A = this chain, B = another copy of it.
């Protein structure tokens, strides 16, 4: 990591990624167990250093790809953390990004090779440095963002049931929602396609599958999606 000589006035630039996924029950975050000092063995966000010819966005994409094998992940810059002693080894400013991915699509082997593991938000351990703070900020941002933009779909499989969608929102917002009110609100956004296909795994009756309608979504304004839930 911080190999070789560290000049006195050097400030390192890092990017750390808060990666969210959803497994039909819980909102989860992908963490790696450090196999190097300092803080070896402790859990941490996936991160890396900025390269000379890339933007922060590029760096975040690269880091996300390295861990998940996925391209074109939804992500957003969160905040630049700059406490002078936040990293005990060297002055490092870390710009955090949060990303949300379909938990089924990531590359299991890559994750294993990085000693990474999914943690339910309620079971996140103490992380290195200020990474818990980063995670908290990401959760807050995700909550606000999903109230304004229907980005939650990024976390679901292509075809999903209303029940799954509701559980996702409940997990993000950490509160229970009324089934009927929820469906009415989602329907009023008018960006879902109801398929003639049922998911039979969750009940005997089966529940209709839906898809996100990207086209309809593109035709609307952001403001059309404000959902008070």
Other-chain residue from B9, B56, B83, B84 in contact with A93 (beta carbon distance below 8 A) = B56
State how many residues of chain A have any CB contact under 8 Å with chain B: 20
A55 is contacted by which of B9, B50, B54, B84 (Cβ under 8 Å)?
B84
| Additional A-B contact list (14), CB under 8 Å, known A52-B91, A55-B83 | A9-B52, A11-B13, A11-B50, A11-B52, A13-B93, A50-B82, A50-B93, A53-B84, A56-B82, A56-B93, A77-B79, A80-B80, A80-B95, A82-B95
Bound together, the chains give a CA A106 to CA B13 distance in angstroms of 34
Give 1 or 0 for each of A43-84: 1 = CB within 8 Å of chain B CB: 000000010111111000000000000000000010110111
Q: How far is the CB of A140 from chain B (nearest CB, A)?
A: 11
What residues of chain B lie closer than 8 Å to A56, measured between beta carbons?
80, 82, 93
A93→B80 CA distance, assembly (Å)? 11
Digit string of A78-98 for contact with B (CB within 8 Å is 1, else 0)?
011011100000010101000
| CB-nearest residue of chain B to A52 | B9
Which residue in chain B gives the minimum CB-CB distance to A83?
B55
* Complex CA–CA separation, A229 to B108 (angstroms): 48
11 A-B residue contacts at CB 8 Å? A8-B52, A11-B13, A13-B13, A13-B93, A50-B82, A50-B93, A56-B82, A56-B93, A57-B82, A77-B80, A80-B80
